[in-house]
Amino acid sequence: MKPQRVAVAGDDLPVAIAAVKRAGLQLVQRDPQAVLCHGGDGTLLRAEREWPGVPKVPARIASRARLCPDHQLEAVLRRLGDGALSRDELPLLVAQVGAWRLEALNDIVLRNDNAATAVRLVARTAAGESGEITGDGVVCATPFGSTGYFRSVARSIVEDGFGVAFSNSTEPVEPVRLSPGESIEIEIRRGPAELVRDNDPRSVNLRDGSRVRIALGDRTAVVLGLDALGCQRCRKADGSSFNPH
């Protein structure tokens, strides 16, 4: 597909809008064929919530970075219009708690609502039930999201399926790896706790006895030109790499 109808999300929108027009693409707000995500990972996550199901095109902001020739905004938009960007389908995590259903591209985090009070919980998978775990909470991450918060807790990343890591538990608990099709249920034994997904400022409060089921969903996030976010040749304005790995 060669997308022509493009919506724009992120920061420095005047620059992004002008570039879309210069590239000969049609700027739209309704029924886009692709969404230019002008910013970093956070912009991509927000755009996925705002435009679910529409392919996302990440592009970093030139004023904050020294971008390699391939990832200048003009070059990205030219390849978009030519249908030449790589296409990735990233699995989404789904958390179900009562009537609430949350989708996440990076991670779903269950954490203590009050930093002074640990949360007590039990985790259940097809393999069995954990003992009661006391700590700051649980981080569930997709492979795409596992280089963020999950990695800082688990000291590893996820290659396939999704990962579950237990944050600051009083007894060491090994991270769990689950395959597509598997799920984990977390039961709050003592809260209060809250459930957050990606960088969404909204959260769901969990009371004692709440059960959250987390699994990979059926839907994926389509990203065109994902290499723009992990490029080793692009540099932040301070000269450091965007990709820590």
Binding footprint of Zn ion on the chain (CB under 5 A): 68, 71, 231, 233-234
- The nearer residue to Zn ion, 179 or 232, going by C-beta atoms, is 232
Minimum separation from the CB atom of position 76 to Zn ion (A): 10
Other Cβ atoms closer than 10 A to 244: 8
- The nearer residue to Zn ion, 26 or 243, going by C-beta atoms, is 243
- The nearer residue to Zn ion, 81 or 225, going by C-beta atoms, is 225
107-112, strands of its sheet edge to edge: 176-178, 162-167, 137-141, 107-112, 193-197, 204-206
Minimum separation from the CB atom of position 162 to Zn ion (A): 28
Minimum separation from the CB atom of position 243 to Zn ion (A): 10
Minimum separation from the CB atom of position 47 to Zn ion (A): 20
- The nearer residue to Zn ion, 207 or 233, going by C-beta atoms, is 233
CA distance 89 to 107: 16
Minimum separation from the CB atom of position 231 to Zn ion (A): 3
Q: Which of 241, 83, 90 is nearest to 160 (CA)?
A: 90
Question: Which three-class secondary structure state does DSSP give residue 184?
Answer: strand
Q: Which of 89, 88, 87, 93 is nearest to 105 (CA)?
A: 93
Minimum separation from the CB atom of position 217 to Zn ion (A): 30
Contact 56, 48 (CB under 8 A): yes
Minimum separation from the CB atom of position 144 to Zn ion (A): 18
- The nearer residue to Zn ion, 135 or 225, going by C-beta atoms, is 225
- The nearer residue to Zn ion, 71 or 111, going by C-beta atoms, is 71
Q: Tell me the two tokens of residue 157.
A: 């990343």
- The nearer residue to Zn ion, 71 or 151, going by C-beta atoms, is 71
CA distance 133 to 90: 30
Residue 211, CA atoms < 13 Å, CB-side half-sphere: 7
In this chain, which residue has its C-beta nearest to Zn ion? 231
Q: Which residues contact 153 (CB under 8 A, 6 or more apart)?
A: 139, 165, 166, 167, 175
